[in-house]
Amino acid sequence: AQKITQTQPGMFVQEKEAVTLDCTYDTSDPSYGLFWYKQPSSGEMIFLIYQGSYDQQNATEGRYSLNFQKARKSANLVISASQLGDSAMYFCAMREGRGDGGSQGNLIFGKGTKLSVKP
Amino acid sequence: DGGITQSPKYLFRKEGQNVTLSCEQNLNHDAMYWYRQDPGQGLRLIYYSQIVNDFQKGDIAEGYSVSREKKESFPLTVTSAQKNPTAFYLCASSIPGRDGYTFGSGTRLTVV
């Protein structure tokens, strides 16, 4: 079964508008972390934002915010005031804990959403 | 500046040849990882290493081999046993914590 599901293969957004990229996850581990990465056409993976399973507040980093709904197992990325440079692939990823609070599992990635920002 | 260096950026391989992809980091990270990326498939884990002289298979290790003789280096060999090696390969490193992984800029391998 897929652990990370991104249901939007592609999205379009008008410049300066906000956009939400969907991500749902599946885990039975109470301790986990959720990540969003941006991959421009050059290929490098750029870390955007992190949400821990025990964090009380939704994470925010500049124009990026994470809409974390734990009961629904959803971790959607919201990009406010889109810019042309936001056009890229966006990947949601999860890192499960080991349950003992110690070492963590490896990052598991979704298949990504291609965001295109229109001028 | 600290980071991860992957080389070469582009690599061409003839069928039946082994090729080695380089990954070097100066972040003092203990853990290193190799991922393969195909169009529409996201990233899939090939091998990972939590400490020097130790490594484990990921989800798609068949046809690949690695070594971890130094903390800074985690080279990946794509062997002739890998039937479909054309892909984009990403190396990453990490420490336990909130920041996930740091990635290199990738190597694009093409079989000719």
Q: What is the pLDDT of residues A60-74, one digit of tens each?
A: 999 999 999 999 999
Distances (CA, A) of A20 to A8, A36, A56, B61: 10, 12, 21, 34
Chain A: nearest CA to B99, how far in angstroms?
7
Q: What is the pLDDT of residues B28-82, one digit of tens each?
A: 999 999 999 998 778 999 999 988 999 999 999 999 999 999 999 999 999 988 8
- Is there a contact between B42 and A110 if contact means CB atoms under 8 Å apart? yes
Among candidates B104, B97, B105, which has minimal Cα distance to B30? B97
Peptide bond into A9 cis (omega under 30): no
Q: Are B48 and B58 in contact (CB under 8 A)?
A: yes
Structure tokens at A32: 């986990």
- Is there a contact between A91 and B96 if contact means CB atoms under 8 Å apart? no
